[in-house]
Amino acid sequence: MSNQPYRTALVTGASSGIGAAIVRRLSEAGIEVHALARDAKRLAQLAEETGCIPHALSVSDVAGIEALMNEIEVDVLVNNAGQSRTGNITNTTVDDIDALVDVNLRAVLQLTRLVVPGMIARDRGHIVNISSIAGHYAFAGGNTVYHATKAGVHSLSQQLRCDLYGRHVRVTEVSPARVETEVFGRLIGNMEEAKKRFFDEYESLLPEDIANSVAFAVLAPQRMNVSFMEVLPTMQVVGGLNFAKKSADPA
């Protein structure tokens, strides 16, 4: 802590997976961490383990978030909370679209809007956005709305650096590929099946890998801004091209 000025952090989606790992890592670094998520029981357990300050609140609750921001001073905002769905735009629902936009993009914008003025006034701060390779690459099987919201987070991260030009307020986007978390179990409704399908035969990233990536950026010297970090398992690649064969001519 002696070589960097951050005293407090707010981590969203903090009750499990990547969020909980980030809370642990930043707490180890001596930062007072405010952990925000809906699961009060898990947050209480995390608070007992790490000493973090729990806030059982949905990122979609704008009034609740505004009230919280009036109570605490945030040096580091980690926008980690996120949701996904199965399927694509051909079978998505109104509720799916609203939920993903609300959590993955609108909440990120609202939180950023609320914390940035204080960071500018103090000339001190760091916004860390956890996006996804889905925001940069199109691939079969991905959820269309999820891809679109994460692309929005990527664009926000880029524009924020322009908005904050000349200030000591840094913006980092961490874009993970496959990470072994509960998200896959929630998607298909069965964690054991998700483990077999997505993890047992693959060497995926672990939540602490992303937490360490965040810590690297946050704890870096103030002269240095890690603007973008794409974090993939060693055995996973991005990109690729599919080419469908011509359909047979109708009779």
Quote the CA–CA distance of 31 and 25 in Å, as a whole number: 9
Q: Are 163 and 112 in contact (CB under 8 A)?
A: no
- Neighbour-count burial for 169-200, b at 16+ CB within 10 Å, e otherwise: bbbbbbbbbbbbbebbbebeeeeeebeeebee
The DSSP code for 179 is B
Name the active-site residue from 137, 146, 165, 202.
146
Angle ∠(85,177,181) on CA atoms, nearest 5:
60
Q: How many CB atoms lie within 10 A of CB 60?
A: 16
Is 146 annotated as catalytic?
Answer: yes
Catalytic residue numbers? 146
